Structure 1
Amino acid sequence: MTRREFFRRGLLVTAAGPWMLGRTRGDEPAELDLLGQAEDRIRRHRRRRRTVVVRDAEGRPVAGVGVRVEMVRHEFLFGCNLFQFGRFRDDPLEQDYRRRFADLFNFATLGFYWSWYEPRRGEPGHERVERALSWAGEHAIVCKGHPLVWDHPAASPRWLPEEDEALSRCVEERVREIVGRFRGRLEIWDVVNEPTHLPDRANRTRMARWGEKLGPVAYARRPLEVARSANPGARLLVNDYRLDQRYYEILDALRGPDGQPLYDAVGLQSHMHGGPWPLRRIERVCEQFARLGRPLHFTEVTVLSGPRLGPGENWGPTTPELEQLQAEYVEKLYTTLFGHPAVEAITWWDLSDRGAWQRAAAGLLRADMSPKPAYERLQNLLRQRWWTRAEGTTDAAGAWSCEAFHGWYRIVVTDAGGRERIREAYWGQRAADVLEIRI
């Protein structure tokens, strides 16, 4: 089954059609049950009680001191691809795109498609990535590179050599050079993309013919090993759209001599061009791939707000009715994923309808960069419901506590004279529960 067939499956639907797919009578109670479980998991796994203890210079507790905490950034990676960065000729649209991105996300996927990145051998285009990285750094946005090895016809440059050994060297050189070049600035990589479909493309691309000879495990193994040697501290992923047993078996076979997986997280695509997936399917996918013992990244999430008009990539523009349905589903989807303890990242695909994949109405923003209801729902979740702002006063032991979502914080302590002490703190899953501040 090819990638396009997997997503399309011959669907030809009306404007409301995508939202009816996969739904059966009785889904609503099951969904409510799953959402209730997710909310409980969020309380248990995504936040923890934290305590600030204020002491004077001699170490004595100070009572009656004001403490204010403000979350700065989530530890969980809420992201989107940043592919339209720098592409708008209309400067106001460019600025709106960047502002909307930074107002919502802390994670960005940058494009490293080989045919685009190095259209002529030996002339990689580092400059655009450098500009995007610089902007992301100014806004405390973590970046990921995507993808390094992929056999898609649109991603393979025409100059690839015909000899297998020469092609192997080219692939290794690309992985080693790029991962090494951006070490310290780009620490997360989709190293290998979609190894499950090599047989489907063996007659269509040079990369697939080479990969089919190797087999999917060997095809993925060597790039992972090279990436690891180029940056031992990087987080490496394999990424695929076929969330089935074939993909699971490939991942399960990608282990080192110590028996541990060669990757650090599992990439799971979820393009829902055929309609939103039932939440029970999302839960099953999480449970299945969590058994590999690595965190899960939902790397490419697509939910449309426009209808399919015909076969192929034939999509209508966004509509008010489908925008509302998109928003309702997005809130359920993100709640389900944020609630699953194995998931550590969610990446939307694409931010705006302008330039979206397959020219579908896949954005959280319309083509004019105005926000759809789904963007506003996510902003409420990410920056209100799942965001910590709290304040109080220390007790006789100099302590004050609150429930705080995992992330980075700005903590302000105000003494009796109105003087402030400001402290930056990491309150993530690996951080201590008690933070001591001297005044």
Structure 2
Amino acid sequence: MMGQTNELAHRKASKTIKLVDEAGNPVAGKEVVLKHTNHKFLFGSGIFDVIDVANKNVPAERLAFQEQKLDKFLDVFNSATLPFYWGTFEPEKGKPRTKELKAAAQWLKERNVTVKGHPLCWHTVTAPWLLEMSNEEILKAQFERIERDVSDFKGLIDMWDVINEVVIMPIFDKYDNGITRISQELGRVGIIKEMFAKTRECNPGATLLLNDFNTSINYEILIDGCLHAGIPIDAIGIQSHQHQGYCGREKLEEVLDRFSHFGLPIHFTENTLTSGHLMPLHIEDLNDYQIPEWPSTPEFEERQAKEIEEMYTILFKHPLVEAITTWSFSDDGAWLGAPAGFLRTDNSPKPSYEVLKKLIKEDWSTNVTGKTDDNGIVSFEGFLGEYDLVCGDKKVRFKLDKNAETVQIII
């Protein structure tokens, strides 16, 4: 265990707590339980089902099924991504789904889940009505969209994938769209600079990500260009849809090594590992793989569990990685119909769910009991995040961070 302790030292901190009563006297010789209730690290998934649950806009039977799914999500995860694809968020100009998404974000926030919006600017699933506009009008509409949505959701959503898949954006040729048009005019770094500046203006304290599936040198060059242009990227988003097979330790560590050179936090924003057959390697655009059925099987579920365990362990050990988001929490409604979730279509948990729950809630969690000394002091080391301190019938919440100062708690 010593090896793991050292490897995870950056995920932990030591804290000295002084317990006093309301008169300021030390609470001496008392048993204290310190229970880890929430990680600082973000373990998340795309969980679009919450929109139906928060708005209760599905039949009762379906609602109950979705609620069961979310109960399992909340047992393990502390972070969620909600969909802000412009084409589905505002299919008709001037009629955004603000109310529905706000209810979903509020539902998650009330349950102590950090919410990220995805994405503010993307050439795919973008508003079809942009095609009726000039480039100048498209850019103006995009700015207005950012101003409205980032401002409307401030305090509920303070983390955004600002712009998505810019490496391919200006050369995207599957179909015409307004965002590719303006990216061709502004250039890659130019459009990123505009979108980040506008988002930052509307929520100065937000965490802003650049996100891409392309992990080649092209993405590195783009990030380098952005940083040289003074664009304040808070975190590098890396998509990892592995429908064609797990990349493996060597490739994963190589990607981490290359993108660590920037010294920025890294978020694995869209992770996919299936528990079914692998998509053929000749498929270049994953969206082109359309099959009627893609079953999850016991054999492949075991494979998925092993891959999840290895990948999450490698990422959690890396000091710059701050978040991992699995793209489909459940096979029910998963992208491309792939069995990429932690739950099967009937909501039953796969081995990968149990493996990850054990890592997050047991191996990487701290639950200790101590006793205050004559000065009311107790010290402990634990994983960063939120804690409950329980002493007798009193319970107090506190945060464990890298700040080594002694904290005084009144009970």
- Asked if 1:122 corresponds to 2:91, the answer is no
Moved more, 133-142 or 284-293: 284-293
Query: Structure 1 counterpart of 2:371, which letter?
Result: T
Question: What corresponds to 2:242 in structure 1?
Answer: 272
- Asked if 1:100 corresponds to 2:72, the answer is yes
Query: Structure 2 counterpart of 1:164, which letter?
Result: N
| Match 1:134 to one of 106, 111, 114 | 106
In structure 2, how many angstroms separate the alpha carbons of the residues matched to 1:127 and 1:248?
38
Q: Secondary structure at the match of 1:129?
A: helix
In structure 1, how many angstroms separate the alpha carbons of the residues matched to 2:197 and 2:176?
24
- Asked if 1:40 corresponds to 2:12, the answer is no
- Deviation at 1:151? 0.5
**Pairing of 1:352-367 with structure 2 (within 5 A):** 352-367=330-345
1:169–1:306: structure 2 CA closer, same or farther, 3 Å change rule?
A: same
- Deviation at 1:146? 0.2
**Pairing of 1:95-244 with structure 2 (within 5 A):** 95-152=67-124, 154-202=125-173, 204-206=175-177, 207-244=179-216
Deviation per CA, 1:136-156: give whole Å up to 9, x if none.
02211110100010011x334
> Gaps (5+ residues) in structure 2?
53-57, 284-288
In structure 2, how many angstroms separate the alpha carbons of the residues matched to 1:38 and 1:129?
40
- Asked if 1:69 corresponds to 2:39, the answer is no
In structure 2, how many angstroms separate the alpha carbons of the residues matched to 1:55 and 1:130?
41
- Asked if 1:313 corresponds to 2:290, the answer is yes
Is the contact between residue 334 and residue 341 of structure 2 (CA under 8 Å) also seen in structure 1? yes
Question: What corresponds to 1:81 in structure 2?
Answer: 46
1:39–1:394: structure 2 CA closer, same or farther, 3 Å change rule?
A: closer
- Deviation at 1:63? 3.3
Is the contact between residue 118 and residue 157 of structure 1 (CA under 8 Å) also seen in structure 2? no
- Deviation at 1:346? 0.6
- Deviation at 1:38? 6.7
- Deviation at 1:51? 2.1
- Deviation at 1:59? 5.4
> Gaps (5+ residues) in structure 1?
1-34, 415-419
Moved more, 217-226 or 83-92: 83-92
Query: Structure 1 counterpart of 2:345, which letter?
Result: A
In structure 2, how many angstroms separate the alpha carbons of the residues matched to 1:187 and 1:256?
25
Question: What corresponds to 1:424 in structure 2?
Answer: 397
| Match 1:378 to one of 356, 365, 370 | 356
| Match 1:294 to one of 264, 270, 276 | 264
Deviation per CA, 1:58-106: give whole Å up to 9, x if none.
7564431111111121111110011122446422311111111111111
Deviation per CA, 1:328-347: give whole Å up to 9, x if none.
11011111111111011110
1:37–1:267: structure 2 CA closer, same or farther, 3 Å change rule?
A: farther
Is the contact between residue 67 and residue 391 of structure 1 (CA under 8 Å) also seen in structure 2? yes
In structure 2, how many angstroms separate the alpha carbons of the residues matched to 1:36 and 1:196?
42
Question: What corresponds to 2:55 in structure 1?
Answer: none
In structure 2, how many angstroms separate the alpha carbons of the residues matched to 1:97 and 1:128?
19
- Deviation at 1:39? 6.2
Query: Structure 2 counterpart of 1:173, which letter?
Result: E
In structure 1, how many angstroms separate the alpha carbons of the residues matched to 2:123 and 2:2?
41
Deviation per CA, 1:339-360: give whole Å up to 9, x if none.
1110111101101111111111
Q: Secondary structure at the match of 1:131?
A: helix
**RMSD across aligned positions (CA):** 2.2
Is the contact between residue 38 and residue 335 of structure 1 (CA under 8 Å) also seen in structure 2? no
1:59–1:162: structure 2 CA closer, same or farther, 3 Å change rule?
A: closer
Deviation per CA, 1:209-254: give whole Å up to 9, x if none.
3212321111211011000111111111110000121111111222
Moved more, 380-389 or 279-288: 279-288
Aligned residues: 395
Q: Percent identical across equivalent pairs?
A: 36
Q: Secondary structure at the match of 2:132?
A: coil
Is the contact between residue 412 and residue 421 of structure 1 (CA under 8 Å) also seen in structure 2? yes
In structure 2, how many angstroms separate the alpha carbons of the residues matched to 1:335 and 1:55?
39
Moved more, 176-185 or 392-401: 392-401
1:39–1:281: structure 2 CA closer, same or farther, 3 Å change rule?
A: farther
**Pairing of 1:1-20 with structure 2 (within 5 A):** none
In structure 2, how many angstroms separate the alpha carbons of the residues matched to 1:388 and 1:299?
26
